[in-house]
């Protein structure tokens, strides 16, 4: 499975008011492992950056004036993300900006979802941590991800941080290096350590009937405040099993 963790920086908050993308940052994951593949471009938005946005990302108009326009990088960008699942924090914001850029150009998809799947890590975090703060900084602290280099928002840096958070939030994986070179791109390194398990016998301890009963009592108590995520997972697993059994039954 190929995923691309993506972030953008923009001139403001509303594409409907003419705001544009000024930075694209992408980090590739293949089968949940970070690769060395990156896509990082600054973009000339052909307009001024709002003061509020400048305070967030610190990308000056003078610097952007010498960067390529979106039309000049769009084919390279689409080739990089084509067929991947995009992993984005608050995906609707970034997708609507990218779609706004695409719809200004002929001969390209008009919606990112025509060429990519989209996974919103903000929606995922809200499901896993209801009622808690789920900003990128809050998640970095919760999952012990180092974001000390994040003095300003930056698309590539934020994509790297999000990649590490996403992997931790969905099961864990090797860390990504946040060191950047002169080009602003970063190399991925894995801190995963392999353990020699030869000769090791693992004991599987099954839950007793009483433990299962107490577990159900706990879930029932939790359900009074909202359906536990485990119930959703059980239901999804049962539905998937039923769908898988349908072809066999038909045969």
pLDDT tens per residue across span 180-192: 443 333 333 334 4
Candidate from 14-18, 117-121, 209-213, 221-225 with smallest mean pLDDT? 221-225
Tell me if 49 sits within 8 A of 42, measured CB to CB.
Answer: no
pLDDT value at residue 193: 44
Tens-digit pLDDT profile for residues 130-172: 999 999 999 999 999 988 766 557 899 999 999 999 999 998 6
Active-site residues, by number, are 153
pLDDT exceeds 60 at position 204:
no
pTM beyond 0.85: no
Residue 187, pLDDT score? 38
Name which residue leads in pLDDT, 146 or 76.
Answer: 76
Q: How far is CA 108 from CA 4, 22, 123, 171, 192, in A?
A: 19, 19, 28, 36, 39
Is the pLDDT at 197 greater than 80, yes or no? no
- 94-98 long-range Cβ contacts below 8 angstroms, 24+ apart: 94/6, 94/7, 94/8, 96/15, 97/8, 97/10, 97/15, 97/19, 97/20, 97/21, 98/8, 98/21
Return the pLDDT at 57: 84
Question: pLDDT band at residue 245, thresholds of 50, 70 and 90?
Answer: low
């Amino acid at each position: 499975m190929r995923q691309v963790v993506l972030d953008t920086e923009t001139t403001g908050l509303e594409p409907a008011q003419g705001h544009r993308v000024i930075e694209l940052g992408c980090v590739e994951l293949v089968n949940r492992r970070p690769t060395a593949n990156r896509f990082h471009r600054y973009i000339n938005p052909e307009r001024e950056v709002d003061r509020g946005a400048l305070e967030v990302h610190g990308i000056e108009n003078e610097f952007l004036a010498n960067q390529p326009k979106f039309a000049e990088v769009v084919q390279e960008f689409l080739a990089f993300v084509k067929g991947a699942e995009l992993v984005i924090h608050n995906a609707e914001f970034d997708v609507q900006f990218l779609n706004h850029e695409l719809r200004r150009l002929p001969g390209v998809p008009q919606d990112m979802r025509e060429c990519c799947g989209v996974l919103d890590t903000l929606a995922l975090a809200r499901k896993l941590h209801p009622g808690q703060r789920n900003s990128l900084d809050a998640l970095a602290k919760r999952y012990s991800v180092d974001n000390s280099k994040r003095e300003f928002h930056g698309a590539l840096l934020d994509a790297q941080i999000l990649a590490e958070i996403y992997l931790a939030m969905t099961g864990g994986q090797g860390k990504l290096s946040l060191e950047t070179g002169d080009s602003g791109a970063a190399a991925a390194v894995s801190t995963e350590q392999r353990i020699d398990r030869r000769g090791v016998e693992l004991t599987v301890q099954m839950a007793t009937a009483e433990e299962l009963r107490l577990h159900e009592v706990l879930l029932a108590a939790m359900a009074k405040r909202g359906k536990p995520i485990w119930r959703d997972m059980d239901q999804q697993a049962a539905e998937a099993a039923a769908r898988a059994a349908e072809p066999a039954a038909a045969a």
